[in-house]
A and B are shown apart, each in its own frame.
Chain A
Amino acid sequence: MRILVIEDEKKVANFIKKGLEEEHYAVDNAYDGETGLYMAEVNDYDLIVLDLMIPKIDGLEVLKRIRGNRNNVPILVLTARDTVGDIVRGLDAGCDDYLTKPFEFLEFLARIRALLRRERIDKEPILKIADLTLSLVTHKVMRGGKEIELTGKEYSLLEYFMRNPGKVLTRTMISEHVWDYHFDSMTNVVDVYVNYVRRKIDKGFEPKLIHTIRGVGYILSADKSA
């Protein structure tokens, strides 16, 4: 899951990035409204964290312009202003949720999970395919009753696969949702990581879940014929 954090206060942006990355999200920072808006337009983010009081382009304006572009990415607004008027303006401008500063980091994470869950129909905090399960809260991955140890990147990759079961995911899509913008797409890092994950979840288990679509990318599916 790739998240854009538009926040001008560097220290706030830094701890949010650190905390989110430790939860296996890929995080990009933008320190002003202009950059934030540009990054939101260019990249395909799964969620945007937006501070309202930011330089160059005001947060509310960023919000309106993102929505104006018919971009339905979930947006969590952070604000130090906590009057009802500010909150109403934020929600009306198209944000999905808001959090007033200073906030509990646990709550912040829970709200991000909730916003990401809205995209799915079942809304369970556990993703499941065949006998493979992934808990979004505890990050525990189990297959056939056995716990599987994954590194942070491997977990992010698997989560992305499991959020999009049965869909062909190209290397570009994978790199965009699992890695931040520092990622160099010319390398074969994606293939290397997919092989790591495949070795951990498919080795010794049946049916095989990750399949290669030659020349295109990968697909996660319990159906062999896919």
Chain B
Amino acid sequence: MHLRSLRFKLTLWYVLILGILLTSFSGFLYFTLSKSLHRDVDNKLRSLAELIASESSSPLSKFSFGTIDQALETSMNLKPIGKFIQVLDESGNIGRKSDNLKNVQLPISLNALKNASKGLITFETNRTIGNTPLRIMTFPVVENSHVTKIVQIASSLEGVEDALNKLFLILIISVPSTLILASLGGQFLAHKALKPVDNITQTARMITSQNLNQRIHPPKVKDEISRLIETFNEMISRLDQSFRQMKQFSSDASHELKTPLTILKGEVEVMLRKERTSQEYEQTLRSNLEEINRMSQIVEDLLNLSKADTGEIRLNKEDVNLTEILNEVVVQMERLAKTKKLNLSATNHHQDIHIFGDALRLRELFINLIENGIKYTEEGGSIHIILQKEYPPPVTGEPDWVEREKGQFVKIIVSDTGIGIAKEDQERIFNRFFRVDKARSREQGGSGLGLSICKWIVEAHQGEIGVESELAKGSSFIVRLPLSPPELNH
């Protein structure tokens, strides 16, 4: 497993966190147990001491002979097993002691003696006697505010230490082995969780521009990974689509350029096959010029569009009078409309409408749209342009004027009574070089880029363009452009 792999990192973090948790838990367990065991011992010592003290100060204490064991047994029926007891007088001389002490004395520290003289209890742990530590309690017996005796009781801590040692051993073995097991389990889990990621990697590695139709198989379970795969697949789809569009575009572009090239080449080659009259040469040259102009137009439009794509064309935005521009364009296009016996008219619902935009581009937009209408409308038809302001529906709760000032649009509708556009083509007519009927369109002239340019101009003005059309009835191109803010409206 690679040290930098996610699997390794996941496992490492998992083990690290588990290790910290287990260690702190073990520590807590050990110390609380140790504390409680020790307190237990102390409590037992204290209660026994109190008992003995009461016994020592009682008339029973007059038994100055015999052991404490006997005394306790006879007076209280008590057998303190494992406890060492000795009783000292106020000056520290040892009086009675329990049998199990034999000839050994419980040590008494200076500190304990000092405390005892003040009537204070002292607990001490002594490790000097034997192998096991002793817990020694020094308990002064106070009578009439005088320390009369000192009772010392000791208990071996062997049991406590043993228990704690065992616990320590158990913990020191079980914690690391748990961690090892956990790391194996963690690796397995990480492996299982990340396996689909490996699959994604492999599929993604195989996908090139040539086989963008491939998809990653989504797992049956809906989880994060399946969401990732879905996202991946969506991304591939989008790539696929744009690649396809690019391919379509370059094939369309080359086709669009090939036709004038074929004409140029063919006409010139046929001309050169023998001597011609100057009239024939002139005719051919004129025809060639037409094709050259057409090619220039295509190339120029393409260049403009690609510049627009890369953001190289900056709009020269200023306050423009849309109504004025439209009226000028209509007058200009009337001549073209007349040659096809079309009726071109415009309706302005408002006095001058001003927007913030590029006058040159907006003029181009209107010319393209009207030209398009003229091209696809049979003789005797009509083209009508409507220019109007559009208010968004008022939002309840807000004063009317707020919304009205914010979301005002100007709507331009260019409708014709032409051949119309089929439903399935309506979406694509703004694509570059897309032509509903390739043959018919070329005859009408144009580069096949007009509507693409319209779309670009509208979008550069933060507007939108759409089409509504019915075959054989006509088409309406609808452009929405945002109105300039009111302060610019004068």
Residues of A within 8 A of B (CB): 8-12, 15-16, 18-19, 22, 32, 53-55, 80-81, 101-106
* A102 pairs with B251, CB closer than 8 A: no
Contact (A103, B262) CB under 8 Å given A11-B287, A22-B270, A22-B273: yes
Bound-state CA distance A22–B269 (Å) is 13
For A16, list chain B residues within 8 Å (CB): 266
For this complex, 30 residue pairs linking A to B, each with C-beta atoms less than 8 Å apart, are A8-B443, A9-B259, A9-B263, A9-B439, A11-B263, A11-B267, A11-B287, A12-B259, A16-B266, A19-B266, A19-B273, A22-B270, A22-B274, A53-B255, A53-B438, A54-B439, A55-B437, A55-B440, A80-B254, A80-B258, A80-B259, A81-B251, A81-B255, A101-B258, A101-B262, A102-B258, A103-B266, A105-B265, A105-B269, A105-B270
Q: How far is the CA of A63 from the CA of B197 in the complex (A)?
A: 51
Residues of B within 8 A of A (CB): 251, 254-255, 258-259, 261-267, 269-270, 273-274, 287, 291, 437-440, 442-443
Residues of B within 8 A of A54 (CB): 439
CA distance A103 to B258 in the complex (A): 10
B273 touches A101 (CB 8 A): no
User: How far does the alpha carbon of A12 sit from the alpha carbon of B254 in the complex, in Å?
Assistant: 17
A102 to B258, CA, bound (A): 6
A104 to B291, CA, bound (A): 18
- Other contacts beyond A22-B270, A81-B251, A102-B261: 8, CB < 8 A: A9-B439, A9-B442, A12-B266, A55-B438, A101-B261, A102-B265, A105-B269, A105-B270
Q: How far is the CB of B225 from chain A (nearest CB, A)?
A: 38
Contact B259 A18 (CB under 8 A): no
Min CB gap A11→B, angstroms:
5
Identify B439's interface contact among A18, A22, A55, A80, CB under 8 A.
A55
Could you tell me the distance between the alpha carbons of A15 and B291 in the complex, rounded to whole angstroms?
A: 14
Report Cα–Cα, A16/B262, bound state, in Å.
11
> By CB atoms of chain B within 10 A, which of A15, A19, A32, A54 has the most?
A15
Shortest distance between the CB of A206 and any CB in chain B (Å): 35
Task: State the majority secondary structure of interface residues on B.
Answer: helix
Asked, given contacts A9-B442, A53-B439, A102-B261, whether A80 binds B255 with beta carbons under 8 Å apart, the answer is yes
In angstroms, Cα B398 to Cα A67, docked, is 72
CB-defined contacts of B437 to chain A, threshold 8 Å:
55
Shortest CB distance B341–A (Å): 22
Q: In chain B, what residue has the closest Cβ to A105?
A: B269
Whether B270 and A32, one on each chain, are in contact in the complex, defined by CB atoms closer than 8 angstroms, is: no
With a CB–CB cut-off of 8 A, which chain B residues contact A101? 258-259, 261-262
Q: Write the chain B residue with the least CB distance to A109.
A: B273
- Which of these, B251, B255, B263, B269, contacts A12 with CB under 8 Å? B263
> Shortest CB–CB separation between residue A23 and chain B, in angstroms?
9
Contacts of B262 in A (CB 8 A): 9, 12, 80, 101-103
In whole angstroms, how far apart are the Cα atoms of A104 and B287 in the complex?
18
Bound-state CA distance A105–B271 (Å) is 11
A53-B251 Cα distance, complex, nearest whole Å: 14
Residue of B nearest to A100 (CB): B258
| Given A32-B439, A81-B251, A18 and B270 contact (CB-CB distance below 8 Å) | yes
- The residue on B at minimum CB distance from A18 is B270
Which A residues are in CB contact (< 8 Å) with B255?
53, 80-81
Complex Cα spacing A101 to B438, Å: 16
Q: How far is the CA of A97 from the CA of B266 in the complex (A)?
A: 19
Residue of B nearest to A107 (CB): B269
Q: What is the CB-to-nearest-CB distance from A202 to chain B, in angstroms, rounded to a whole number?
A: 29
CB distance from B31 to the nearest CB of A (A): 81
A104 with B274, Cβ < 8 A, contacts A11-B263, A55-B439, A80-B255 known: no
Closest A-chain residue to B440, C-beta based?
A: A55
- Determine the residue in chain A with the shortest Cβ distance to B263: A11
Q: Smallest distance from the beta carbon of A24 to chain B beta carbons, Å?
A: 13
The reply to whether B439 and A8 form a contact with Cβ atoms under 8 Å apart is yes
Chain B residues lying within 8 Å of A22, measured Cβ to Cβ, are 270, 273-274
List the B side residues contacting A12 at CB < 8 Å: 259, 262-263, 266
Among B255, B291, B437, chain A packs the most CB atoms within 10 A around the CB of: B255
Residues of A within 8 A of B291 (CB): 11
Q: Using CB atoms, name the residue of chain B closest to A83.
A: B251
Distance in Å: Cβ of B252 to nearest Cβ of chain A:
10
**Nearest B residue to A101, CB-CB:** B262
Specify the chain B residue showing the minimal Cβ separation from A55: B439
User: Taking the nearest CB of chain A, how far is it from the CB of B249, in angstroms?
Assistant: 15
Neighbouring A residues of B254 by C-beta, 8 Å: 80
Residues B438 and A19 in contact, CB atoms below 8 Å apart: no
Q: What residues on A are CB-neighbors of B258 within 8 Å?
A: 80, 101-102
Give the shortest distance, in Å, between B160 (CB) and chain A (any CB): 90
Bound CA span A139–B291, Å:
33
A15 and B263 within 8 A (CB): yes
Task: Give chain A residues whose Cβ lies under 8 Å from the Cβ of B443.
Answer: 8, 10
Contacts of A80 in B (CB 8 A): 254-255, 258-259, 262
